[in-house]
Amino acid sequence: MTRLIQAAFAAAVLFATPALAHNGVVHLGPIDISLPFARATLPNAPVGGGFLTIENTGAEADRLISASSPAAAEVQLHEMAMDGEVMRMRQLEDGIEIPAGGTVTLEPGGLHIMFMGLREPFVEGEEVPVTLTFEQAGSVEIKLPVLAVAADAAPAHDGHQGH
């Protein structure tokens, strides 16, 4: 039994190692960026979403002020929130504050990186490069591994077709 558990554990570690290396934490001064991903897009989809976790290990607040990518004509920082009964998203013109000692998660249904005017669809298994610029810490390029299309992504993004 013990041997079985050990074997299972070893297999799990083997399986997990490439993903961990792939999703390794990116350090930019006191800013740690982890768990990056993008969602695969359907053919001809005009927009795509990017997500990641930002931790500020420093003593002063910082701010994610912009993002850019060769994969899209424009990249914006967005927030999704309920407006009455309707889920809407809006551009965060002032960026996203990362409080001192705080962690901010960009995730489906909340804050996200919005890729607009995609040059090509995001294909599962590929990577999307994006350069993040922080007010204090400066800029860093990271790669977002493209994961599967999520069922709840497309309707939420319909509102962007008029951009």
Residues in contact with Cu ion by CB under 5 A are 78, 89, 114
What distances in angstroms separate CA 30 from CA 122, 150, 161, one per listed residue? 30, 32, 37
Closer of 29 and 110 to Cu ion (Cβ):
110
Amino acid at 74: E
Closer of 114 and 144 to Cu ion (Cβ):
114
- CA nearest neighbour of 56 among 106, 101, 104: 101
**57: enclosing H helix or E strand:** none
| Nearest distance, CB of residue 78 and Cu ion, angstroms | 3
| Nearest distance, CB of residue 47 and Cu ion, angstroms | 7
Name the burial class of residue 44, with classes exposed (0-12), middle (13-18) and buried (19+) by CB atoms within 10 angstroms of its CB. exposed
| Nearest distance, CB of residue 113 and Cu ion, angstroms | 8
| Nearest distance, CB of residue 103 and Cu ion, angstroms | 21
Closer of 38 and 89 to Cu ion (Cβ):
89
Tokens of 129: 């490069």
Closer of 30 and 50 to Cu ion (Cβ):
50
